[in-house]
Amino acid sequence: MAHDGFDLPPREAMEFDVVVVGAGPAGLAAAIRLKQLAAEAGRELSVVVLEKGSEVGAHILSGAVIDPRGLNRLIPDWKAKGAPVATSVREDRFLVLGPAGKLRLPGFMMPPLMSNHGNYIASLGALCRWLGEEALRLGVEIYPGFAAAEVLYDQAGAVVGVATGDMGLARNGRPKDTFVRGMELKGKYTLIAEGARGSLAKQLIETFRLDRDRCPQKYGIGLKELWQVAPEKHEPGLVQHTFGWPLDNRTGGGSFMYHYGARLVAVGFVVHLDYENPYLSPYDEFQRFKTHPAVRTVLEGGSRIAYGARALTEGGWQSIPKLTFPGGALLGCAAGFMNVPRIKGSHNAMLSGIHAAEAAFAAISAGRAHDRLEAYEKAVREGEIARDLRPVRNAKPLWSRFGTLAGVVLGGIDMWLNTLIPNVGLGVTLAHRKVDYEGLKTTASARPIAYPKPDGVLTFDKLTSVSFSQTSHEEDQPVHLKLADPNIPVAINLPEFDEPAQRYCPAGVYEIVADRDGKPRFQINAQNCVHCKTCDIKDPSQNITWVPPEGGGGPNYAEM
Ligand SMILES: Cc1cc2nc3c(=O)[nH]c(=O)nc-3n(C[C@H](O)[C@H](O)[C@H](O)COP(=O)(O)OP(=O)(O)OC[C@H]3O[C@@H](n4cnc5c(N)ncnc54)[C@H](O)[C@@H]3O)c2cc1C
Ligand code: SF4
């Protein structure tokens, strides 16, 4: 077979009952549930999970306050089995920040669905590692370090599996001595659980037009640091959310700060990717946020342990695409089951994995293969996930239309109405009007933002931060950030938007540098990429496509 002008050997194929792409909460829940069902029925069922991270959990980044309803359903005795989910939420704090001050919202104003009573603070990465062990114990085959790079179709157009990427290709696409051809993993059903803006999910949504008649998906970028704080600053079980400063009223977003474990504080900042100002840098907003007295006082005297970033879905109920295609389905945040005002998606990710597994198992048991798992779609649209997402469906559109302060108040009223008269609320479902990248203004109509210099103690420069994500990629490999037109960054994005990739990328991957003749050149430092997917979403020219690099590359998050 020819590849960039070189002949490559054919791929070997392996057959399974179910192929799962992604070892996050959605994919692992699906794999575990499939094996549980097979064990209950006393039958054999082969399940494989592919994970692009070097190990399960290496690419997982979340808050995380975990609503345990998915875990309860999947492994009811998870506590007795020692799941790493130990800190119960003790207190919820909501603050509106100004440049120096803060206003605490009284708890009684918050709609009950916003309460974290009964939830836990934990590392989602650690939970996924534990789920991975459970899955292995049940006989699931997990292949970390292997990215699913291509969807495989049969002649009728149904999905029959995926192929892993080739390993050992040089930057120019030529096979090196270390070259290993990718494998084909074929299944009766293929479950796509890649998380927000999955690269295969994106193709499948387009191929099968799964988003037809749906609102566009909306996204945010979440940046997170893990700190170990001084003992007197640690309040285990405290969950603090803020909105307001340093973002202006037209820019959606907010922060989280969760105290848990051994003096750990997860501090993070989310910026909605429909922001307008091309000079905005989500990374620098996060650094600036940490200088607020409400945050600084907690972190001072502590040390930063880890850094990372990841996109999250924000479109909610009205943006969920059709979930099934012939031969498989979209699970978790690859479909977009994130509850935006609650900043929670892991419970729905697990529930979707359970529903998909149950539908796939019933179908396989009935002798079916490569058709649509309609029972899965029905379970999501009529079950617990719908009951979680429908009541909050207007929060994000209200925020986008009316700005943060009015949007949060109106969203709160809508959520209260939904609480008092279930499934009614404002009585309408507000649409998302724009795809995120369309919101970006040109520099001619935007105000430059001057960010303070990092102090190296509380605030840091990007490259130092990236070193705290333990990111590594084989350097001599094809660039995994594909430009449809290499001229666009300098010819269009630079004059119109001051090439915003320099600022929205949280890992310093994109730079405009001067060539020897002084001309601007777009440089891609692909080895720094933390796989957040923001460039794929926010590039105003939609010129960048993120594809999986060689398996095992990317961040190596320990406890994110
Ligand atoms: C900053 C931030 C804070 C959050 N806070 C919370 C919170 O407090 N509580 C909460 O419940 N939720 C929270 N969420 C949301 C939560 O993390 C997601 O809803 C959840 O992780 C979705 O699970 P998933 O399994 O669908 O996807 P993911 O967790 O993203 O997992 C997907 C997995 O698939 C792998 N993968 C992707 N593509 C491929 C491929 N092609 N081949 C092989 N492997 C692949 C990835 O490496 C990853 O391991 C937060 C998210 C962010 C970004
Ligand atoms: S290159 Fe893209 S995916 Fe990688 S870190 Fe930067 S914005 Fe995120």
Phi, psi of 440 (to 5 degrees): -70, 130
If you take atom 3 of ligand 2, which residue's CA is the nearest one?
A: 533
Structure tokens given for 511: 């730079």
Strands 91-97 and 238-244: parallel
Per-residue confidence (pLDDT) for residue 324, from 0 to 100: 98
State the alpha helices, DSSP H only, in 59-207: 69-74, 124-137, 199-207
- Residues sharing a CB contact under 8 Å with residue 487, sequence separation 6 or more, in sequence order: none
Question: Alpha-carbon distance 331 to 110, whole Å?
Answer: 30
Per-residue confidence (pLDDT) for residue 5, from 0 to 100: 61
Question: Alpha-carbon distance 24 to 272, whole Å?
Answer: 23
Per-residue confidence (pLDDT) for residue 427, from 0 to 100: 76
> Tell me, what amino acid is at 211?
D
Cα(364) to ligand 1 centroid in Å equals 27
Atom of ligand 1 nearest to the CA of 337: 19
- Check if the beta carbon of residue 403 is closer than 8 Å to that of residue 326: no
Per-residue confidence (pLDDT) for residue 100, from 0 to 100: 82
Q: 142, 271, 333: which to mutate for ligand 1, most atoms within 8 A of CB?
A: 333
For residue 222, give the ligand nearest its CA: 1
Ligand 1 lined by 52 (C-beta under 6 Å):
yes
CB atoms within 10 A of CB 518: 6
Per-residue confidence (pLDDT) for residue 425, from 0 to 100: 67
Ligand 1 lined by 533 (C-beta under 6 Å):
no
Ligand 1 lined by 66 (C-beta under 6 Å):
yes
Structure tokens given for 70: 């998915």
Per-residue confidence (pLDDT) for residue 295, from 0 to 100: 96
Per-residue confidence (pLDDT) for residue 6, from 0 to 100: 65
Atom of ligand 1 nearest to the CA of 146: 43
Cα(524) to ligand 2 centroid in Å equals 10
Q: What is the mean pLDDT of each run of 10 residues along the chain (560 residues)?
A: 67 97 98 98 97 98 97 98 97 92 83 90 98 98 97 98 96 93 97 98 98 97 98 97 95 97 97 98 98 96 97 97 98 97 96 98 98 98 96 91 87 82 76 94 96 97 97 94 98 98 98 94 97 98 97 93
